[in-house]
Amino acid sequence: MNRSPFYLGDWQVNPQSNTLQRAEKTKQLEPKAMDVLVHLCLQKGEIVTSDELLDQCWKNVEIGDNPLHKIITQLRKTLGDKASEPTYIETIRKRGYRVIAKLEFPLAEDIKTTENTWQGGSPFLGLSAYNPSDTHLFFGRNQSIETLLNRISSQVKFGRAFCLILGPSGTGKSSLVNAGILPKLLDERGYNGIGVISYSQLDFADVHKNRLFLDLASVLLDWDINAQPVFEGLSAQTLAEQLELAIDGVINAIQVALSKASTQLKTPQLFLFIDRLEVLLSSPIFSSETRSHFLSVIERLATSKTVIVFSACRNDFYPLVVEQPSLMAG
């Protein structure tokens, strides 16, 4: 039985924790109720008989069908559904039950492979990294995606939303973030109540000497909320100076912008992806003081409860990662 999170209408169903989540609401289910719900959902709108549900969820234990009726009633109450006017679970008289709400299984590999066959050009991008718009082409990494989503959810709750991904060159670290993690967080329902409403990316391959904070400022100017720039009216140079010398003011501006966001998300966030971090850690164009100061600014953003930070670094530079306390904190 699928145990990965999936979506039933606006609800995120979490079989592992027996919970349903929608924006700020988290509802707890009994394990048996979750078993029934998952089995119904896996049939993807097909009618499921009472006998099948009893057989699959009670494993042939002789209990009669009354417990099933109670479970269905409990599910409807939790979902805010009505038997007379169903939007989630419909009773088909003398036949059984079926799910009528929209179902999505974004992290279930075995279910996704049964969906529509690809009819476009080549889905393989060669040496290019996948972008968020390529998520429909990106597959085979769902276990890693789920692990990282759960990891960053815990980090957000802990108050330090930073995730460092280490791996050999060419293994798809950037694609994993861009086409795997980011689209799930950009979904209007979020993931575990946490979601992203704007994102930007800093690639250290494009960062120049003496422009470290200016290059960071330039990508952060891409952040917008409700079509309004987060740092409206600021030039890249002014924002760079604030990042370097007055980070508290930058965080305050982000907090104000997020407070005006129109979203159902419990914890709306901005997203920053820092790629090829090994350049910062190893390049002689950056002094040790510059490295430390830049990482301290990133740490402040990640602990501000407003910004989720992901970073990718080649694992052969791990000895340099160890030298930076802020990178080892997680």
Q: Are residues 313 and 231 in the same domain?
A: yes
- Is residue 277 situated within a structural domain? yes
Going by C-alpha positions, the residue among 164, 211, 169 that lies closest to residue 309 is: 164
Cβ atoms of 191 and 150 closer than 8 Å: no
pLDDT value, residue 298 = 97
Q: Are residues 142 and 265 in the same domain?
A: yes
- Total H helices, total E strands in the chain: 14, 13
Going by C-alpha positions, the residue among 50, 14, 49, 44 that lies closest to residue 31 is: 14
pLDDT value, residue 140 = 57
pTM of the model: 0.80
pLDDT value, residue 171 = 84
Q: Are residues 83 and 223 in the same domain?
A: no
Phi, psi of 18 (to 5 degrees): 55, 45
Q: Are residues 177 and 43 in the same domain?
A: no
Going by C-alpha positions, the residue among 39, 13, 166 that lies closest to residue 104 is: 13
- Is residue 257 situated within a structural domain? yes
For the domain that residue 270 is a member of, what is the CATH number? 3.40.50.300
What count of Cα atoms within 13 Å lies in the side-chain half-sphere of residue 35? 13
Q: Tell me the three state secondary structure of residue 150.
A: helix
Q: Are residues 94 and 219 in the same domain?
A: no
Going by C-alpha positions, the residue among 299, 271, 295, 300 that lies closest to residue 281 is: 295
Kindly provide the residue ranges of all beta strands, DSSP E only, lying in the chain, ordered along the sequence: 6-8, 11-14, 19-22, 25-28, 89-92, 96-99, 103-104, 162-167, 194-203, 224-225, 228-229, 267-275, 307-314
* Residue after which a domain boundary falls, among 63, 87, 104: 104
Q: Are residues 76 and 37 in the same domain?
A: yes
327 contact partners, CB below 8 Å, separation of at least 6: 164, 295, 321
**Can you tell me the distance from the alpha carbon of 196 to that of 291, in angstroms, rounded to the nearest whole number?**
27
Count the residues in the chain.
330
- Is residue 110 situated within a structural domain? no
Q: Are residues 136 and 281 in the same domain?
A: yes
DSSP result, 165-183: EEE-TTS-HHHIIIIIIHH
Q: Are residues 97 and 145 in the same domain?
A: no
Q: Are residues 284 and 197 in the same domain?
A: yes
pLDDT value, residue 142 = 83
pLDDT value, residue 321 = 95
Q: Are residues 137 and 63 in the same domain?
A: no
For the domain that residue 61 is a member of, what is the CATH number? 1.10.10.10
pLDDT value, residue 300 = 97
Domain count, the chain: 2
Q: Are residues 18 and 140 in the same domain?
A: no
Cα dist from 322 to 317, 318, 327, 329, whole Å:
9, 6, 7, 10
- Is residue 113 situated within a structural domain? no
- Is residue 122 situated within a structural domain? no
Going by C-alpha positions, the residue among 255, 233, 236 that lies closest to residue 300 is: 255
pLDDT value, residue 120 = 58
- Domain boundaries, position 237: 132-328
- Is residue 24 situated within a structural domain? yes
Q: Are residues 154 and 284 in the same domain?
A: yes
pLDDT value, residue 112 = 44
What is the block-wise mean pLDDT of the chain (330 residues), using blocks of 10 residues?
86 95 89 95 94 86 76 95 94 93 82 51 55 55 88 92 93 89 90 92 91 96 94 96 96 94 83 96 94 96 97 96 89
* Residue after which a domain boundary falls, among 86, 104, 122: 104
* Residue after which a domain boundary falls, among 87, 104, 121: 104
**Can you tell me the distance from the alpha carbon of 299 to that of 324, in angstroms, rounded to the nearest whole number?**
11
